Amino acid sequence: MSDPLTRWSVDDYAISPLGDRVAFVVRAPNSNMAYSTKVDVYLASTQDYCRPRHLTARINGTASMPTFSSDGRRLAWLQMETPGYESDRNRVYLYTMATRESVAVAYDWDLSPQSLSWSKDDKVIYALTPNKGRNLIHSIEVGTGKRKELTTCGSAGGVRPIDEKSFLYVYSSENQSGDIHKLDTADCKPIRLTSVNKEKLENVFLSPAEDFWFGGAQGDRVHGWLLRPFGFDSRKSYPMALLIHGGPHQASTQCFSHAQWNPNMYASAGFVTVVINFHGSSSYGQNFTDSIQHRWGDYPYVDLMRGIDYVTTKYKFVDKSRMVALGGSYGGYMVNWLNGHTDIFKCLVAHDGKFSTVSGFYGTDELWFPERDLGKPWEETGRAILEQNNPERFAANFNTPTLFVHGEKDFRIPITESLGAWMMLRRRDIPARLVYFPDEDHWINHGGNSIRWYTEVLDWITRWTNTTSPYAIR
């Protein structure tokens, strides 16, 4: 939905159960999307023409996910309050039609819900909320703000209420693809209703995740998990693959991913696969998420190094001489940072990663992101912070063979970032390979390209670790 006359761009909308109102999420006319994160909620009648009511005029953050109650008398949405910050905590706001008043519910909750659904009796809101590397469903009592965790493991999504006390949802984990489940809030015992991919997956190796916690930067506890490889034998040793998530204010979650970072793709190729949610990750409280402002190369790096020490000490079957690290977006940035700060990896893989924080600033479509997290390069303080966290500043220390993957249509991190790092390694006679996708953006969206991506990546890491995969990669 868009209006070429006012230049409003509607990002999301909801229609009331009676069809008499519509709530929509929109960026204000003439706002500059490159450096503003203000997104507003408006409410309009569908029965006659009138000026839409602006519900978030006094809040300068991002609003999302408008959702009407089943009787249409109230509207809930998610609201960030910090301007210019994409990873601020989402708070739950409620608007009552009769009083035209908005209030926040469970305001002090230190987690950040991602979607909302009303119970059939409108007494409870179900909030899909990342929590310690899992996407869980919580209930929030509308009248009191009292919360209850309804699911405890894996990742949930697609909540659809059935009646006042139960709902359907999609559940997945590392070793279980998405299926529809039913949950009664009285006993919170999930009932699996479908097994959509049972036949396709019955002969596919899927390793479960094993959680671990260790002492990271600033003395904080940091969470990770490990997947054992195909054909695991505790008497043998195996190469290790460290997967580094993007964001950096995201988190790896225990879900069944179809994209490039499904940990079982690496476990099935013979690698002990390790995931660590370092400082800056979401789902561990807002302070943990906020902690790496101006410190992109600091706390996360400390966490990863300490996590590797923990894993290689506890799990004796990990071969410390055959470790690799892979990451995309911020994870690709961190791969470049690792290359300038350690030589413990046999090879690296950087997907759409930033090589220079300075050139990366000038080339991105999201200026508000580096402005808030690092600074502006034309200001003395901002320039100093950008350089302090700049992988390119340590280019002379890069010595690890690296595979770079990039899409031509990536406007968040332009392809010049990978080209620059690849060229530097090649010029210095350090093995490097560049895989270029002319039709992809920040992600790999096409099935054929995804197969090629995995082929290139798995071939690279098995070759440099002298690992024989259980199946032919090329």
Phi, psi of 439 (to 5 degrees): -110, 15
Q: Which of 329, 351, 373, 406 is catalytic?
A: 329
Catalytic residue from among 138, 351, 406, 442: 442
Is 410 tagged catalytic? yes
Distance CA 331, CA 324 (A): 13
Report how far residue 408's alpha carbon sits from residue 342's, in angstroms, rounded to the nearest whole number: 29
Cα separation, 470 vs 233, whole angstroms: 14
Where are the alpha helices (H) located in 258-403, listed in sequence order? 263-267, 286-290, 299-314, 330-339, 357-363, 368-373, 380-388
| Euclidean distance between CA atoms 359 and 392, whole angstroms | 10
For residue 177, give Cα distances in angstroms to 46, 151, 256. Answer: 40, 17, 5
Task: Give CA separation, 111 vs 18, 161, 209, in Å.
Answer: 32, 22, 23
DSSP assignment string, 252-293: --SS---STT-HHHHHTTT-EEEEEE-TT-SSS-HHHHHTTT
Look up residue 152 and give its DSSP letter: -
Buried b (16+ CB within 10 A) or exposed e, 297-322: bbbbbbbbbbbbebbbeebebbbeeb
Per-residue tokens: 147 = 């919360």
173 is catalytic: no
Of residues 223, 406, 410, 418, which has the active-site annotation? 410
8 Å CB contact between 274 and 224? yes
Half-sphere exposure of 190 (CA within 13 A, CB side): 22
Q: Tell me, yes or no, if 442 is annotated catalytic.
A: yes
Side-chain-side CA neighbours of 193 within 13 Å: the count stands at 10
The SS3 assignment for 393 reads helix
What is the separation of C-alpha 366 from the centre of its chain, rounded to a whole number of angstroms?
A: 16
391: preceding bond cis by omega (within 30 degrees): no
Residue (of 365, 281, 262) closest to 330 by Cα position: 281
* Coil/strand/helix, residue 212: strand
Catalytic machinery residues:
329, 410, 442
